[in-house]
Chain A
Amino acid sequence: MTEEIIIAGFGGQGVLSMGKILAYSGIMQDQEVSWMPSYGPEMRGGTANVTVIVSDERISSPTLTCYDTAIILNQQSMDKFESTVKPGGVLIYDPNGITHFPTRTDITIYTIEGAKLAADMGNTKIFNMVVLGAYLKVKPIVQLENVIKGLKKSLPERYHKLIPLNEDAITMGMKNVVTS
C-alpha cells in the first residue's frame, strides 16, 4: 500500500499539522512516511500545502506531480491541484469559500463542511481534524487508535487534555463526509 496525498489551503488552517498527525499515525502502525511542506516566503498569509506519503515500502520521491488524494481547502488550491489527482483518485474539499467547483468526472469527489462543523462544535481550531476525519472515512489508511497515539506522541503533554476534543472532531468528520 502506498498513498500519496496533497493537502492544500491557507496558512493557518492547520494544513501542515494535519499532515503531520497523519504521518505520525502511519509511524504508529509501523509504516514508512514522508511529509514535505511547501516552504518559502510565499507562505506568509498565503497558501500552504504539504505532500504526505504513507507506505508499506521505502518511499522514493517525497515531492510529486500527481496524487492519489487531494484534500483542498481554498479556491487557489482547487485551481492548482484539481488537475493533479490521478485518474480514479479522490478529491475531498470544503465548499466553504469555493466559487469554482471541481468538474472532473474521472475521480471521486467528496465534500466536508469542515469550517461549519468546527464552528458548530464551538472551536474553529479543530477544523483540520474534522477534515482529517472525512479523509479517514474515505481512505481508512490509518486506524483511529493510531491517530490518537500519534496525537499523544506529537503534542506536548500540556495539550493532551485536548485529545478527546480532537477525537470528537475526527468522528464528526467521518460522519459528515458526503459524495459530491
Chain B
Amino acid sequence: MGELKLMKGNEALAEAAIRAGVDGYFGYPITPQSEVIEYLMAEKPHDRTGMVVLQAESEVAAINMLYGAGATGKKAMTSSSSPGISLMQEGLSYLAGAEIPCVVANIVRGGPGLGDIQPAQSDYFQSVKGGGHGDYRLPVLAPASVQEMSDFVPLSFDLAFKYRTPVLIVSDGLIGQMMEKVELFDTMPRLTDEEVTARYPWGTNGKPKGGERRIMTSLDLDPHKLEKHNFHLQDKYRTLEEDEVKYELIDCDDADYVIVAYGSSSRIAQKSIQLARKEGIKVGLLRPITLWPFPKKQINALIKQGVKGFLSVEMSAGQMVEDILLTVGDRTKVAHFGRYGGVIHSPEEVLEALKQKIIGG
C-alpha cells in the first residue's frame, strides 16, 4: 500500500505530477486551483526529480510552453480554472492539430466571464465539443475524488502519449478544495533524453544524422494534404471512442431510474440515491469518467435493461444532458436538473427533482 495522506484535490494533483515523472509544469495562478502551483513551488520538485516548475506570464504563454516542451517528447502539464482555460483554447487547438501530447487540468469555477470562484461544471461544452477552432476532440477525464485527482495524472499522460493528443482533466472547485484520504503512488523516474528519443521518434529533439527533419506544426496550406491529416485525426478519435470509454455504475443492477452525473455532482447524487432507496425508489448512478468519449454504449445497455428515465445532474444549465439526449433519443425520458453560478445541489433537492421530472413527469 502506498503512502496515505490527507490532501486537498489540488495538492494531490500537484504531488501526482511530481510522482508521474512530469518534466515540466507551466502555469499561472487562479482561484480555485492556485494550490497546484503553490504546492509545486513549495515542494521544490527540481530537487526531487528534476522537474521544472515555471510561473508563466499568462495562461497564453503557459499553453504555448506546453507546445514547446511537448513537441520534444517530454511530459508537460499545466492547470488553471475556467477563465484561464478559455485563454488556452487557441493553444489547445494547435496542440491537437500538431498532435502534441500534454495534460491540462481545469478546476472549473462559476461563469460565464470572470464569474466567481465557487465550484461549477459549466465548462462541459468547451471541454468535450472542442473549445478551440477546427475539427478536433480531446480525451476528457473527470475525477470525483481526491484519490482520482492523483490517479488520473499518470492515466492522462498514458492517453496523451498513446494517442499523441492533449488530455483534459476536468474537475471543479469542490474537488480541488476538499481534503480526503489519498493513497499516493510510488514516484516514477523521469525518462532520460535517450529514453525519450527511443520511445518518441517523432519528437523534435535534434535532427539525427541522415535522418529526416521533424516538424511539429498544425499548418498545411495544401487542402488535400490537410484533409488527409484530418482523416487521420478522425480515425484516432474513432479509436478513442471505441477503446477508451471509462465510467462507473453504482446501484444500477435493479434500477428503474438512473442519475447521470460526473465529478462533484456524482458525489452528491450518490447521497440522493441512498435517500431514494430508503424510500423504496430504485435509482442508480451512471458516472461518466471520460466525458469524451462519452459512455453511449452503457446508456444503451441501461435502456435495454429497462431503465425508465435518466436525470442528468450537473452544476450547469444543462450541457451533458445534450449528449444523453443524443444517445437516448425518444426511447425513454430524459431530464436535466442543474444548479449553477457556483451553487452546489443538495442531495435532497436532487431527489426531489428526480421525483418531479422523471418519476412523476
Q: Which of B6, B174, B273 has the most CB of A within 10 A?
A: B6
**Nearest opposing residue in chain A for B179, CB measure:** A35
B267–A27 contact, CB under 8 A? no
With A27-B4, A63-B344 known to touch, is A34 a contact of B180 (CB < 8 Å)?
yes
Is A177 positioned at the interface, with any CB of B under 8 Å from its CB? Answer: no
A60–B267 contact, CB under 8 A? yes
Question: Which listed residue (A32, A37, A62, A65) contacts B181, Cβ 8 A?
Answer: A32
Contact with B along A57-68 (1 / 0, CB 8 A): 001111111000
Contact with B along A30-55 (1 / 0, CB 8 A): 00111111011100000000000000
**Nearest opposing residue in chain A for B350, CB measure:** A61
Task: Report how far A59 CA is from B271 CA in the complex, Å.
Answer: 9
Is B22 positioned at the interface, with any CB of A under 8 Å from its CB? Answer: no
Residues in B228-267 with C-beta less than 8 Å from chain A: 267
Q: Which of B117, B178, B268 has the most CB of A within 10 A?
A: B178
Q: How many residues of B contact A (CB 8 A)?
A: 23
Shortest beta-carbon distance, B355 to chain A, in Å? Answer: 17
Residues in A with CB closer than 8 Å to B174 are: 36, 62-63
Bin chain A's interface residue count.
20 to 34
Task: Report how far A65 CA is from B178 CA in the complex, Å.
Answer: 17
Residues in A19-34 with C-beta less than 8 Å from chain B: 20, 23-24, 26-27, 32-34
Residues in B with CB closer than 8 Å to A63 are: 174, 268, 344, 346
B6–A35 contact, CB under 8 A? yes
With A39-B32, A41-B117 known to touch, is A33 a contact of B6 (CB < 8 Å)?
yes
Residues in B with CB closer than 8 Å to A32 are: 180-181
Is B274 positioned at the interface, with any CB of A under 8 Å from its CB? Answer: yes
Is A154 positioned at the interface, with any CB of B under 8 Å from its CB? Answer: yes
Is B118 positioned at the interface, with any CB of A under 8 Å from its CB? Answer: yes
B274–A60 contact, CB under 8 A? yes
Shortest beta-carbon distance, B349 to chain A, in Å? Answer: 9
Is B347 positioned at the interface, with any CB of A under 8 Å from its CB? Answer: yes
30 residue pairs of the A-B complex, CB under 8 angstroms, read: A20-B6, A24-B6, A26-B181, A27-B4, A27-B6, A32-B180, A33-B179, A33-B181, A34-B179, A34-B180, A35-B6, A35-B180, A37-B178, A40-B117, A59-B180, A60-B267, A60-B268, A60-B270, A60-B273, A61-B267, A61-B268, A62-B174, A62-B180, A63-B268, A64-B346, A64-B347, A65-B346, A65-B347, A65-B348, A154-B6
Residues in A with CB closer than 8 Å to B173 are: 39
Residues in A with CB closer than 8 Å to B127 are: none
Is B177 positioned at the interface, with any CB of A under 8 Å from its CB? Answer: yes
Task: Report how far A76 CA is from B19 CA in the complex, Å.
Answer: 43
> Could you list 13 further interchain pairs (A-B, Cβ under 8 angstroms) beyond the known A32-B181, A33-B179?
A20-B179, A24-B6, A27-B4, A34-B178, A34-B179, A36-B178, A39-B117, A40-B116, A61-B268, A61-B347, A62-B180, A63-B346, A64-B347
Shortest beta-carbon distance, B269 to chain A, in Å? Answer: 8
With A32-B181, A33-B181, A65-B346 known to touch, is A60 a contact of B271 (CB < 8 Å)?
yes
Task: Report how far A39 CA is from B118 CA in the complex, Å.
Answer: 8
Task: Report how far A32 CA is from B270 CA in the complex, Å.
Answer: 16
A62–B346 contact, CB under 8 A? no
Contact with A along B90-134 (1 / 0, CB 8 A): 000000000000000000000000001110000000000000000
Contact with A along B325-361 (1 / 0, CB 8 A): 0000000000000000000101110000000000000
**Nearest opposing residue in chain B for A63, CB measure:** B344
Task: Report how far A37 CA is from B117 CA in the complex, Å.
Answer: 13
Contact with A along B137-181 (1 / 0, CB 8 A): 000000000000000000000000000000000000110011111
B178–A61 contact, CB under 8 A? no
**Nearest opposing residue in chain B for A16, CB measure:** B179
Shortest beta-carbon distance, B351 to chain A, in Å? Answer: 12
B271–A61 contact, CB under 8 A? yes
**Nearest opposing residue in chain B for A39, CB measure:** B177
Shortest beta-carbon distance, A148 to chain B, in Å? Answer: 15
Residues in A with CB closer than 8 Å to B117 are: 39-41
Q: Which of B116, B180, B267 has the most CB of A within 10 A?
A: B180
Residues in B with CB closer than 8 Å to A60 are: 267-268, 270-271, 273-274, 347
**Nearest opposing residue in chain A for B32, CB measure:** A39
**Nearest opposing residue in chain A for B273, CB measure:** A60
With A39-B32, A40-B117, A61-B268 known to touch, is A27 a contact of B181 (CB < 8 Å)?
yes
Task: Report how far A36 CA is from B146 CA in the complex, Å.
Answer: 11
Shortest beta-carbon distance, A152 to chain B, in Å? Answer: 13
